[in-house]
Amino acid sequence: MVENQLRARDIEEESVLEAMRDVPRHCFVPPALVEAAYEDRALKIGEGQTISQPYIVALMTQWLQVRAGQRILEIGTGSGYQSAVLATMGTRVFSVERSDALASEARRRIDRLGVADRVRIRVGDGSVGWAEEAPFDGILVTAAAPHVPDRCREQLGGAGGRMVLPVGDRQMQRLTLIERRGDRFEQTYGIACRFVPLLGQDAWAQ
């Protein structure tokens, strides 16, 4: 997976490649899909959610420019795989998930991986972020937003905070990078992608 799907494309950051190699992706998919865990495609994990394809996980992580010791907000815990990748890179992860069932299973998987001390998961509306723990060095949104959620963006740290998310309609989005420069925000668009919708006060209603 790492050599053929990531390094062979445009994933160049060694810390990302190492984390993707170290985290056992098959432990984050339903038992019936273990054999497909390392294929470069999204897989259903229940509750209407998916685990993103490995390339997208790696690309979003690379765009975030993760460094050990950073505080990262993840919106959409899902299976817990992205949280595990970030924690393996030495960050402190604050992850918000709407589904109690997915959050509970993600906690169990992360605990078994041995990085639970670096990951906090709570059930709630991720579209409004996690204000009590702000500011964050980076924010990663793993669901499709109709626009950049204002309250999440404001929770970025002022000195170069970065936010990566898919923005668009329910059918197609573009991967988007937000960089905070003091009171200014710079926006860069990347590849087309397709995620499940982000639901909440500052996202899709249903």
pTM value is 0.95
pLDDT tens string 66-119: 999 999 999 999 999 999 999 999 999 999 999 999 999 999 999 999 999 999
For 57, phi and psi rounded to 5 degrees? -60, -50
Does 52 qualify as catalytic in the annotation? yes
pLDDT tens string 177-202: 999 998 899 999 999 999 999 999 99
CATH superfamily of 2-193: Vaccinia Virus protein VP39 (3.40.50.150)
**Of these residues, 15, 52, 95, 99, which one is catalytic?**
52
Average pLDDT over residues 145-159: 92
pLDDT tens string 10-45: 999 999 999 999 999 999 999 999 999 999 999 999
- Kindly tell me if the per-residue pLDDT of 158 is higher than 90: no
CB 57, CB 82: distance < 8 Å: yes
Average pLDDT over residues 126-151: 96
